[in-house]
Structure 1
Amino acid sequence: MVAVDIGSVKSPSKFAWAAFDVPIQDTIAEGKDPNSAVERLAVGLADDRQAVLLLESPMSIPVPDADDTGWRWLGRAREGEGNRPWSAGAGAGVLATGLAQTGWMLSRLAAATPEVIVTTQPDQWQAGRARLLLAEALVSGAGKPVAVAAGQHAADASAAGRALVERLRDGSPLASDVRCAPHNPLNLLAATALWAGLALNPGELHNDVLVIRVEPIPEHP
């Protein structure tokens, strides 16, 4: 599994990734550029294995019903985002950056592993119907980790990965912490995967993505 903290790739890089081998929560590799992230993800998919690409960027947005009053809800936060909505300054900025960077990474992945079946739906992945799960991480507010020697971005990527590993350890069905309901989801991850040429069910364009929200580390007395 590869967890990515989306950010500018201009030096000094604000992009970071961390790789994990479930069910172990220790980082097995890390880096600061999209190319090495794709290379590590391809390693995880080798020999018909399953993998996850977890991206810290808004990857689904709510679109209200197209009626006379639906426009009043445009830009509202998703359920579960709290005071960190996708449409606020920071969220909107990383969404735009994330689309470009995700498009590039998935295009590279499509060239390297053209046969891989991809999904944004955790039930499909856990049932073995797809080898790659694309998902979103939310690392903000009280859930933001303390910066490590490698920097805040590396800490965020690592925290996102550990949060997902923790949920995968017992094999329970994965549930999203953030949803577009009661509005219609526009699945940006599915759209980007299809644009990149990956094999994904087009019906997922209208489904929520899995969002893993990083919770604060409990304080010990």
Structure 2
Amino acid sequence: MDIGSVQRPSKFAWAAFDAPDRDLADQGTDPATAVAALAAGIDSGRPAILLLESPMAVPVPSTAGDGWQSLGKARDGEGNRPFSAGAGAGVLATGLVQGSWMLRLLAETVPAVTVTTRFAVWHGGDAQLLLGEAFVSGTGKPVLAGSDQHAADAAAAGLAMLDRLDAGEPFTSDVRCAPHGAFNLLAAMACWAGLHLDPDEIRDDILVIRACPALTS
């Protein structure tokens, strides 16, 4: 899901896939239809994954000694695109608002859904929905004609997730808050929204899937 302004022309886009099929199952440009599609899949009894293209866990360094000097530094794996830089900080704020809204709507639509940010919990069948982050960066690749950049990037994130699922375990995150502590924004938003999630996850690192941005030119 590509986080962005929902004002026209929309910079928000989502793409859905029915694993293991790599063909696009559905797509849209507003958060309400995104939640409707997600809820429909959950209602059918299928496990689901929701990836938001926004920093969804931030590093909190130790309070001991000079730990404060690491405040705001990039997460491991972010490279030259730290969460605290201008673009990252802007999309983080937008992602908090839009993600919270969508999770609240999901909780109202499918009240019984169980949610986690822990891949092992989801993979073991103990939660129906896995929440994670898409990190779109790197060398681009062509996409189908007619797609805009936001829709193409949303699809690229979904395909990257399918690639990881097809590859099997071990399943590791491409970006990590460690060695610092993690403030899990996905868990915080899910708890705020009233979803069924272990509140202890608020200190967990999350699954971040790196995807190549799509080129539409």
Q: RMSD value over aligned CA atoms?
A: 1.5
Does residue 62 of structure 2 align to residue 65 of structure 1? yes
Residue 216 of structure 1 and its aligned partner are, at CA, apart by 7.3
Match of 1:86 in 2: 83
What does 1:37-48 align with in structure 2 at a 5 Å threshold? 37-48=34-45
How many angstroms apart in 1 are the aligned matches of 2:2 and 2:163? 18
How many angstroms apart in 2 are the aligned matches of 1:51 and 1:173? 19
Gaps of 5+ in 1: none
How many angstroms apart in 2 are the aligned matches of 1:38 and 1:57? 17
What does 1:206-221 align with in structure 2 at a 5 Å threshold? 206-215=203-212
Asked if the contact 2:74–2:83 (Cα under 8 Å) also holds between the matched residues in 1, the reply is: yes
How many angstroms apart in 2 are the aligned matches of 1:215 and 1:30? 19
Q: Deviations over 1:119-166 (max 9, x none)?
A: 001111000010000000000232x44465231000100000000011
Residue 75 of structure 1 and its aligned partner are, at CA, apart by 0.3
Match of 2:163 in 1: 166
Instruction: Return closer, same or farther for 1:28/1:10 CA change in 2, 3 Å cut-off.
Output: same
Gaps of 5+ in 2: none
What does 1:52-201 align with in structure 2 at a 5 Å threshold? 52-142=49-139, 144-146=140-142, 148-201=145-198
How many angstroms apart in 2 are the aligned matches of 1:96 and 1:186? 15
Residue 49 of structure 1 and its aligned partner are, at CA, apart by 1.7
**How many equivalent residue pairs?**
213
How many angstroms apart in 2 are the aligned matches of 1:141 and 1:64? 27
How many angstroms apart in 1 are the aligned matches of 2:129 and 2:181? 24
How many angstroms apart in 1 are the aligned matches of 2:118 and 2:74? 21
